[in-house]
Structure 1
């Protein structure tokens, strides 16, 4: 996604302006990272990592928060679809509630205030007397990591105008201080005595980089939100503690890993960003935290635009995918200086132009929805300009517009009906000549298709959520068993063996269910996996006797929908794959990411 340099400003108002090369490289890295995340959004609007019964929204709230802080507008279809998917899945744990509140506040959409108020109430009800949060509702141990997310979320509520009673901030301050380690006396290279200490994951444990940054963050948030309600002696103690903790962070500063020997290095880097922003400092100890961190991240970004473990296009590895989405989100929050960023969602207009080496006419385009097209530098003033378009991958060109008004380069605006990538060319005609432009390839992202928005709600309507069907298949790849086609997660998929000549899957329900619609999702619904083999013609048998045929859509981001002539009691559902798009039966791994059954209103 094109995000202009003005939005990706890499310095605070009082901070230094980094070298041009670093700024440009960081902007480019952010753009690639945003595209990586957008290309991995699932058909239902979610990102599928870390989803389970306790984290029903998984990593999606973090990804949405990251995209918003990186300049993706709140009206972007990816954001709207994600919020639609998240809303009916209330968080059960602090991490989910915390990142959801951060995302809601970053959207700057005040119509979401009631949602925020409800989640804030949940968080406050989960707060223990100690002031140190556990995972939620008394689940597992109390720790500073959960407490950090709760504190950031409550601060987001305050920013949105939702007042958090002072007693909770006092309790949070007390809980944070309980995770502080004793003072350690050390000497610097000059032999001077220094005091340092850190924060721990749990009271009584050893300090770490990410938790020391968490402790400093929480103290800053408490001071800001308590205001005059924080006694002078506590404010003095707080400042002294933070200076000692900054000494610890500086002494153990790293750009890889989490000192002294902890995991979650990406979380540690995000900690430096928060500390730098909230304290208004550009150095942690002797280290220029942004310059060193950004330089290290730029070296570690993959060719796909991601950080951390990321699978190839051909594989579906849930563990790798979720780590790629997590690592990328944390890296982008650092590079974007998200904590210091006061504005979310302001994105400039993307722009394209054809190469003069490809034609006498220069074709230009700007915007998204609508998109403006015009031409420039024709050798002779034309009387008419025709614009043609086709989807990427198609052969046939279609007329988009025949423009006779020469104003502003025969300019006109057009709204595409769907998001996607399109090729555009133009020809200019005069009585004497015909001039052609080169081809430009534009990307449309801002069309919110009603069908895709409906997909974000399908999961809650799926009747198979209430049952655990028995699943039999003709064959299955080891990492893609049949049960994954009925697990309600689009992130996973059943796939048959490559040489299976007659791929089929049968669901047997413990009790008959009444339904009038059966839906099938392709095995690879993420945009970046376009072009892989997928089912085309299906034979569907209900209860071993009712027979239906269905042709799956060619597009990966469309479901195949079988509308039954009347509401039917379904006990068994058998699906046979007869042919394939971009592949052949018996030579390609085929399957479904999800089979859904609904009883829809007529």
Structure 2
């Protein structure tokens, strides 16, 4: 089940707090509108998380890169570090081996934002890796040096320095010199030597020089001549951004592209860096933040995402959120996101129920209605409250908490508060049932008063499977040997059999649409001893439910033994677990799909995202 409708349910009115009474209509691009846009963007990002805690975009080419960028964005946007989405992402990244400049840099940013002290050693190791790739500036790390990779390396080294890593002054000087070498004659900056300046790269160049200047100055390693040269180029870059200012595209001299230019959101985050690091409210005559906000709010899609001409909603949404949150600013004093409150106090209700939070959810009785007080307050106790025997709090038909009262005396200002934790995220129907003793009666005569039902979206419940799935790649025995994967058919090259054993939940195997007997066979070069087989069904993104046909029944054949028929969990966000009994030395696994439910876009194409073998003794 997709979390997005539930998450978006939290964005009505003021998304994280109660709406103000009789408030003036919010400005279309004022603080309340920005808060709403951020909340919707976060809802999209949270809902797009994969089973293993990762995010899908370019996860194969840049392992852990998008996941690190998303984690950094969540934290910088005020999401609690104990939020399940944060915990799942952090767990997935514990064993990530980024291997490329962008991914390594984003991982440093995420780890420093998450817990600089606790992650100090890993940050230092990653920073050392970055420095080993340095060639003045930075490439991918292979290939030519470019200003974009250099910018992310500089940002990461700045974060590493905050976490206690000592970046050599020589490294900072070389970064600055590399950026200056890409300055163009008109004061802008280019991606690589010989190219024209662009808005995205000019913002990157200015940000690099500002970071370099501040780092060298902090260590008294900035001679006057170098300081003056940096200042001149910084000023020249800011003037270039003023002359070619735009927020709907990343400007080039020929102003190619349009409002959906593929790098506009990346550019806007770069513009935010310049404004923040240079302490500029305006770039020339332009209020860069206000103009960026206006465009971003208009460009946001209904489900909370931002996209560019290449799609790429995950990184694009991250860049938009980082701009709106001014993420480059010092983190001290950064606010967290408020706790959501549900319900209202009304004299027309027999019982008014209020709730605040998520999981845990705090519930209490805020008041009893005028009619209930008139009918059930005892003689001589007018205004002192009803005599309450007990209060039951329910989720649908299930009593989830009970608070005892004292029917021998009026309740006064008692609120009968309780807290409830949930095992799974989902929409909850919360209401209260209050047992009161009427005038002159006793417990046997109790009358039941009921509150209206509150629709409460729960998104922060940490289910047992969440961290288990994030840790599963480290337990997968198939990763310890070469696996020859072949199948009865494949939908296309992007859904080849080998992707079902690559350790990632972001790609897998799908059979051809017309395949009548879909079968996946895995032959291990070296046998592995395990007792649990796990598989997850092939699917679109977490926001594209039932895109492909869903396997319903699978015959599992291990080492050629008689098949074991298994019913597949029909929740796309769950794995199916097959117990093999005692540990078995596995050389061959065959999965035959014998029944399936047609998909929305592909009636017959079905398969598996990942097959895993574990020893869970």
1:442 aligns with 2:441: no
- Structure 1: stretches of 5+ with no match in the other structure: 9-17, 185-196, 311-318, 391-396
Q: How far 1:484 sits from its partner (Å)? A: 3.8
Structure 1 Cα separation of the partners of residues 299 and 105 of structure 2:
28
Checking the alignment, whether the CA contact within 8 Å between 2:530 and 2:616 is kept in structure 1 is no
1:374 aligns with 2:364: yes
Structure 1 Cα separation of the partners of residues 484 and 157 of structure 2:
41
Structure 2 Cα separation of the partners of residues 355 and 451 of structure 1:
38
Structure 1 Cα separation of the partners of residues 476 and 270 of structure 2:
40
Structure 1 Cα separation of the partners of residues 609 and 348 of structure 2:
42
1:452 is matched with 466
Q: How far 1:178 sits from its partner (Å)? A: 1.2
State which of 416, 421, 428 in structure 1 corresponds to 2:427: 421
Structure 1 Cα separation of the partners of residues 609 and 349 of structure 2:
44
1:158 aligns with 2:158: no
Shift of the 452–216 alpha-carbon distance from structure 1 to 2, 3 Å rule, reads same
State which of 608, 611, 615 in structure 2 corresponds to 1:592: 608
Structure 2 Cα separation of the partners of residues 487 and 436 of structure 1:
54
Structure 2 Cα separation of the partners of residues 438 and 528 of structure 1:
32
Structure 2 Cα separation of the partners of residues 418 and 537 of structure 1:
25
1:214 is matched with 204
Checking the alignment, whether the CA contact within 8 Å between 1:43 and 1:526 is kept in structure 2 is no
State which of 545, 551, 559 in structure 1 corresponds to 2:575: 559
Q: TM-score, normalised by structure 1?
A: 0.84
Checking the alignment, whether the CA contact within 8 Å between 1:104 and 1:112 is kept in structure 2 is yes
Q: How far 1:307 sits from its partner (Å)? A: 0.7
SS at match of 2:123: helix
SS at match of 2:419: strand
Checking the alignment, whether the CA contact within 8 Å between 2:41 and 2:305 is kept in structure 1 is yes
Q: Deviations over 1:218-256 (max 9, x none)?
A: 111111111131112222222222222111111111222
Pairing of 1:341-490 with structure 2 (within 5 A): 342-343=331-332, 346-353=336-343, 360-379=350-369, 380=372, 381=386, 382-390=388-396, 397-405=397-405, 408-432=414-438, 433-465=447-479, 466-473=481-488, 476=491, 480-490=495-505
1:78 aligns with 2:78: no
Q: How far 1:270 sits from its partner (Å)? A: 1.0
Checking the alignment, whether the CA contact within 8 Å between 1:519 and 1:561 is kept in structure 2 is yes
SS at match of 2:368: coil
Q: How far 1:65 sits from its partner (Å)? A: 0.8
State which of 85, 94, 101 in structure 1 corresponds to 2:101: 94
1:271 is matched with 270
Q: How far 1:7 sits from its partner (Å)? A: 10
Structure 2 Cα separation of the partners of residues 428 and 224 of structure 1:
62
Checking the alignment, whether the CA contact within 8 Å between 1:68 and 1:345 is kept in structure 2 is no
Checking the alignment, whether the CA contact within 8 Å between 2:488 and 2:515 is kept in structure 1 is no
SS at match of 1:229: coil
1:259 is matched with 251
Q: Deviations over 1:257-280 (max 9, x none)?
A: 222137522211111110010111
SS at match of 2:555: strand
Deviates more, 1:151-160 or 1:38-47: 151-160
Structure 1 Cα separation of the partners of residues 285 and 181 of structure 2:
28
2:238 is matched with 246
Aligned CA-pair RMSD: 3.1
Pairing of 1:229-244 with structure 2 (within 5 A): 229-244=221-236
2:42 is matched with 34
Structure 1 Cα separation of the partners of residues 277 and 528 of structure 2:
55
Pairing of 1:62-141 with structure 2 (within 5 A): 62-128=69-135, 131-136=136-141, 139-141=142-144
Shift of the 521–177 alpha-carbon distance from structure 1 to 2, 3 Å rule, reads same
Shift of the 362–246 alpha-carbon distance from structure 1 to 2, 3 Å rule, reads same
State which of 208, 213, 216 in structure 2 corresponds to 1:226: 216
Checking the alignment, whether the CA contact within 8 Å between 1:62 and 1:100 is kept in structure 2 is yes
Checking the alignment, whether the CA contact within 8 Å between 2:65 and 2:102 is kept in structure 1 is no
Checking the alignment, whether the CA contact within 8 Å between 1:384 and 1:428 is kept in structure 2 is yes
1:330 aligns with 2:319: yes
Structure 1 Cα separation of the partners of residues 267 and 613 of structure 2:
43
Deviates more, 1:436-445 or 1:469-478: 469-478
Shift of the 531–427 alpha-carbon distance from structure 1 to 2, 3 Å rule, reads farther
SS at match of 1:383: strand
1:11 is matched with none
Shift of the 499–201 alpha-carbon distance from structure 1 to 2, 3 Å rule, reads closer
Checking the alignment, whether the CA contact within 8 Å between 2:364 and 2:416 is kept in structure 1 is yes
Q: How far 1:66 sits from its partner (Å)? A: 0.8
Structure 2 Cα separation of the partners of residues 201 and 559 of structure 1:
44
Checking the alignment, whether the CA contact within 8 Å between 1:44 and 1:452 is kept in structure 2 is yes
SS at match of 1:425: strand
Shift of the 403–530 alpha-carbon distance from structure 1 to 2, 3 Å rule, reads farther
2:381 is matched with none
Q: How far 1:517 sits from its partner (Å)? A: 1.9
